[in-house]
């Protein structure tokens, strides 16, 4: 019975070196694929390919981290493991890459035309600039949480499981804060180009404005994050019919108003 349990445990440990890296890479892989798809649709190397590069750096971190753990038993001193230095280098590059993207691209901070909002941007939503400065420092500290975790666990100051229990909620908090400033930047600058126009009115659209809205949505500088598709002849005819009907309706209304006058 004991032999069977030990065998099953060994199999779990062996499979762990395969399953865990794959699971760790999945979130980055999904975003990496999304960036490639957006590049395919828009043909814009920046920012989509550059953003894809950010997520691809995660693959190297996982790869070298896995190799470091696999070969750890071969060295008396962990510092003799060459994969340790490759993992640290990849982690530093990935963290710096991600942090720079957070601040400059996702949040739009460190803008040259920030004016009085030093290190921020010209237009802000939140009432106090201290929120932004706190987020800048907080994101930097938590982006390098892997370094604190490694140092503390290797020095036996804290167990690996406990460190994971501390780091995980902090990462959730970091992403929670990130969402607020990312949403603010998107609302102000339309940086993701998901909107056809910069400002969206919450007032109901009048029927007389419908033709104008159709023209706006058809302009070349409208929504560009989706791949352009060929419009069917039927759709073109329907749209032309709608515009013609609205033009006739406007003409009738003008004639009616003229007769009343």
What's the pTM value of the predicted model, to 2 decimals? 0.71
- pLDDT at residue 18, rounded to an integer: 87
Q: What string of H, E and C letters represents the secondary structure of the chain? A: CHHHHHHHHHHHHHHHHHHHHHHHHHHHHHHHHHHHHHHHHHCCHHHHHHHHHHHHHHHHHHHHHHHHHHCHHHCCCHHHCHHHHHHHHHHHHHHHHHHHHHHHHHCCCCCCCCCCCCCCCCCCCCCCCHHHHHHHHHHHHHHCHHHHHHHHHHCCCCCHHHHHHHHHHHHHHHHHHHHHHHHHHHHHHCCCCCCCCCCCCCCCCCHHHHHHHHHHHHCCCCCCCCCCCCCCHHHHHHHHHHHHHHHHHHHHHHHHHHHHC
- pLDDT at residue 67, rounded to an integer: 94
The pLDDT tens digits of the residues spanning 8-60 come to 444 545 567 889 999 999 999 999 999 999 999 999 999 999 999 999 999 99
**In contact, 167 and 145? CB cutoff 8 Å:** yes
- pLDDT at residue 219, rounded to an integer: 58
Chain Cα centroid distance, residue 101: 9
Which single residue is written with the structure tokens 């419009």? Answer: 231
- pLDDT at residue 190, rounded to an integer: 75
Residue whose C-alpha is closest to residue 142's, from 178, 183, 181? 178
The pLDDT tens digits of the residues spanning 97-148 come to 999 999 999 999 999 888 888 899 988 999 899 999 999 999 999 999 999 9
Query: Domain boundaries in the chain?
Result: 1-106, 109-194
- pLDDT at residue 114, rounded to an integer: 83
The pLDDT tens digits of the residues spanning 178-231 come to 999 999 999 888 766 666 554 555 455 565 666 666 665 555 554 444 444 455
CA atoms lying within 13 Å on the CB side of residue 221:
3
Chain Cα centroid distance, residue 24: 17
- pLDDT at residue 257, rounded to an integer: 47
Question: For helices 160-189 and 145-154, what crossing angle results, to 10°?
Answer: 170
Length of the chain: 261
- pLDDT at residue 10, rounded to an integer: 47
Triad 50, 55, 59: Cα angle to 5°: 130
Cis ω before 68 (30° cut-off from 0)? no
Distance of alpha carbon 92 from alpha carbon 94, whole angstroms: 5
Handedness of CA 5, 14, 144, 59 (dihedral sign): negative
- pLDDT at residue 241, rounded to an integer: 57
């Amino acid at each position: 019975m004991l032999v069977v349990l030990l065998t099953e445990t060994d199999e779990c440990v062996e499979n762990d070196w395969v399953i865990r890296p794959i699971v760790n890479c999945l979130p980055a892989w999904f975003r990496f694929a999304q960036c490639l798809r957006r590049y395919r649709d828009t043909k814009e190397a920046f920012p989509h390919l550059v953003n894809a590069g950010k997520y691809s750096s995660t693959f190297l971190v996982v790869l070298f981290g896995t190799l470091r753990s696999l070969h750890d038993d071969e060295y008396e001193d962990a510092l003799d493991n060459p994969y340790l230095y490759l993992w640290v280098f990849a982690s530093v590059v990935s963290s710096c890459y991600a942090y720079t993207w957070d601040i400059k691209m996702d949040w739009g901070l460190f803008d040259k035309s920030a004016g009085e909002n030093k290190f921020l941007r010209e237009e802000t939503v939140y009432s106090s600039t201290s929120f932004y400065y706190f987020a800048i420092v907080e994101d930097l500290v938590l982006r390098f949480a892997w370094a604190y975790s490694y140092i503390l666990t290797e020095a036996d100051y804290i167990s690996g499981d406990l460190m994971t229990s501390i780091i995980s909620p902090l990462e959730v908090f970091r992403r929670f804060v990130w969402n607020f400033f990312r949403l603010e930047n998107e609302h102000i600058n339309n940086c993701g180009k998901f909107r056809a126009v910069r400002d969206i009115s919450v007032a109901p659209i009048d029927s007389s404005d419908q033709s104008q809205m159709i023209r706006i949505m058809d302009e070349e500088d409208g929504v560009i994050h989706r791949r352009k598709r060929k419009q069917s002849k039927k759709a073109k005819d329907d749209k032309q019919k709608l515009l013609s009907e609205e033009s006739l309706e406007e003409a009738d209304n003008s004639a009616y108003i003229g007769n009343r006058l």
